[in-house]
Chains A and B, each alone.
Chain A
Amino acid sequence: EAGVAQSPRYKIIEKRQSVAFWCNPISGHATLYWYQQILGQGPKLLIQFQNNGVVDDSQLPKDRFSAERLKGVDSTLKIQPAKLEDSAVYLCASSPPRTGNRYGYTFGSGTRLTVV
């Protein structure tokens, strides 16, 4: 099966600029996750979608971050305005409706964001 697609792969912006990341999950995966991974740390959940509804956005800095999942498929994550501390890898993942699939979660290759 095709993997989770993410773009762009790299992005460099100046602080206070805006940026958007795109994710296309595995076909049939109802749940989509965005994680932020700061260098040398484990990924931290930003937001979880079930179809096109938000399940958990408790750790999303809502004053600057926003995310949407149109029609329960693709998703975009936006940062506006960006701060230096937003420099990180942004990972998108999806999971199937049931746990029978031994692989469970499938991750994209991430977008490395550098804010200068």
Chain B
Amino acid sequence: AQTVTQSQPEMSVQEAETVTLSCTYDTSENNYYLFWYKQPPSRQMILVIRQEAYKQQNATENRFSVNFQKAAKSFSLKISDSQLGDTAMYFCAFTRSNAGGTSYGKLTFGQGTILTVHP
């Protein structure tokens, strides 16, 4: 069974600064995807970034980037130039895929990290 662990229940950062959220996972699978989701009070899960396990290059999406360490089973999210709108709960999530990486399975989520961006 897969497990995802987020060890930081809460984090805070000043506007325009950089913050890193931690995530570790445990799996025996070779083919999988990792995600970071943002959940504001509206409850809508919003995809922040996705990483394919077979790719060595770390994913980036504008101000968001990850540090994917496959051997260490670590997947941290870095938010640069933090904005007030980044305030939300952030979830790290894992899914295994098939050998070709072409289909998804169920998502397993971590416990979440509440991020507060202060003006």
Residues of A near B55 (CB, < 8 A) are none
Q: For window 41-61 of chain B, which residues contact chain A by CB distance below 8 Å?
A: 42-45, 47, 50
How many angstroms between the C-alpha atoms of A49 and B96 in the bound complex? 16
Given contacts A41-B111, A42-B112, A104-B35, contact A112 B43 (CB under 8 A): yes
Partner of B33, one of A43, A56, A89, A99: A99
Partner of B45, one of A41, A48, A91: A91
**Contact indicator B44/A109 (Cβ below 8 Å):** yes
Q: Measuring CB to CB, which residues of chain A are less than 8 angstroms from any residue of chain B?
A: 31, 33, 35, 40-45, 48, 55-56, 89, 91, 93, 95, 97-100, 102-105, 107-110, 112
**Contact indicator B45/A107 (Cβ below 8 Å):** yes
Task: Give chain B nearest CB distance to A90 CB in angstroms.
Answer: 10
Which residue among A45, A56, A93, A99 has the maximum number of chain B CB atoms within 10 Å of its CB? A99
Q: Mark B85-98, 1 if CB is under 8 A from A, else 0.
A: 00000010100010
Contact sample, A vs B, 12 pairs, CB 8 Å cutoff:
A35-B107, A42-B4, A42-B109, A44-B109, A55-B106, A56-B106, A93-B107, A95-B104, A103-B47, A104-B50, A105-B35, A105-B45
**Interface size band for B:** 20 to 34
Q: For window 37-82 of chain B, which residues contact chain A by CB distance below 8 Å?
A: 42-45, 47, 50
Given contacts A98-B102, A99-B104, contact A41 B47 (CB under 8 A): no
How many angstroms between the C-alpha atoms of A33 and B35 in the bound complex? 17
Nearest residue, chain A, Cβ from B114 = A40
Top 9 closest A-B pairs, CB basis? A42-B109, A107-B45, A110-B43, A95-B104, A45-B106, A98-B102, A43-B109, A48-B106, A109-B44
Residues of B near A43 (CB, < 8 A) are 45, 91, 107, 109
